[in-house]
Structure 1
């Protein structure tokens, strides 16, 4: 059985929207994108490389997939993140995309919850979700996430889309691991209790 892990960047007040660049996700007038950039350092890169090395495949929402597909195919295979992303299967939840030139990409168009449950039933290590906030909320509601890898940044945004919004079904989690980067990013790993 394959474990489904979810890696998400969060502000202290729980915002998960637009961490990478100002233009990443401006929905609902969000104009604070790119908030993680000042905190990225070698320690973050080391943690990310470790987690990417555990993947057998990636599950991505359409927006995240388009961001990744615009950059990672140009990165060499020896890169600790680009290597796995370019060589392993990518499953994309999308009602609009049907084709991609990025190798090993498959689209999940219909019943995403059923498709992900079937992928999890196969033998393997990890099927990883990175970002993909809308998809992740769907998977959370279906109780398919086995492990949350939350990067909590020392920044308060005051607005934006949150991972755990009002109406999220109650869950009990247990802290499995905690690390802190040199720049004060708290890396918390939670598993279902």
Structure 2
């Protein structure tokens, strides 16, 4: 059975929209695309490459698939380890609107995303990574299918944009299992779900 890992770049206020460029995702009138780029450094790339090399497959939503498929097949794997990994690895695309997926080693999951991913986890082994794919990640969280979150927190606040954990997310306690930092000030935290939150009170007993 696969371990499902969600890896996401986030601002300090939880925005995950369009980290890599101004035109990556302008939906909702978002004007802050590319907010990650000034913080990219050798530390970041080393961690990204190490984690991606650990993947046995990638699970993508439609928008992220289209962004990746328009870029990575045109990058030589001889010079770029990320391109080499993405282009050669199995990729599973959760989408009801796409009819075909042309990128090498891609498989379309055209039914209900949660049901399809649940079956995918059962029939595959190793680490299955989700990158970006906000709507898909939210659905997987709601259905308790995420085994690990690798969250990159960048030192920037935007005040608007799509969030990984929007209003209405199922309450979940998380357990910190690893943390790293980069020279550019990015904090990279790895969490695993720890059941439902517990609650207490600091009120003085009467």
Kindly state the Cα deviation for residue 123 of structure 1 after the two structures are TM-superposed: 4.4
Structure 2 counterpart of 1:148: 149
What is the SS of the residue equivalent to 2:60? strand
Structure 2 counterpart of 1:166: 167
Alignment of 1:1-193 (within 5 A): 1-78=1-78, 79-193=80-194
What is the SS of the residue equivalent to 1:71? helix
Alpha-carbon distance in 2 for matches of 1:162, 1:137: 9
Contact 2:101/2:108 (CA < 8 Å) preserved in 1? no
Aligned length: 193
Kindly state the Cα deviation for residue 187 of structure 1 after the two structures are TM-superposed: 0.4
* More off after superposition, 134-143 vs 94-103: 94-103
Q: What does the per-residue CA deviation read over 1:8-54, in whole Å, with 9 as the maximum and x for residues that have no partner?
A: 01101111111111111111111111000000011100000011111
The RMSD of aligned alpha carbons is 1.0
Deviation >4 Å, runs of 4+ = none
Task: Name which one, 1 or 2, has greater alpha-carbon Rg.
Answer: 2
Contact 1:16/1:133 (CA < 8 Å) preserved in 2? yes
TM-score between both structures, scaled by the size of structure 2: 0.91
Kindly state the Cα deviation for residue 125 of structure 1 after the two structures are TM-superposed: 1.4
Alpha-carbon distance in 1 for matches of 2:101, 2:114: 22
* More off after superposition, 101-110 vs 60-69: 101-110
TM-score between both structures, scaled by the size of structure 1: 0.97
What is the SS of the residue equivalent to 1:48? helix
Kindly state the Cα deviation for residue 100 of structure 1 after the two structures are TM-superposed: 3.0
Alpha-carbon distance in 2 for matches of 1:113, 1:170: 18
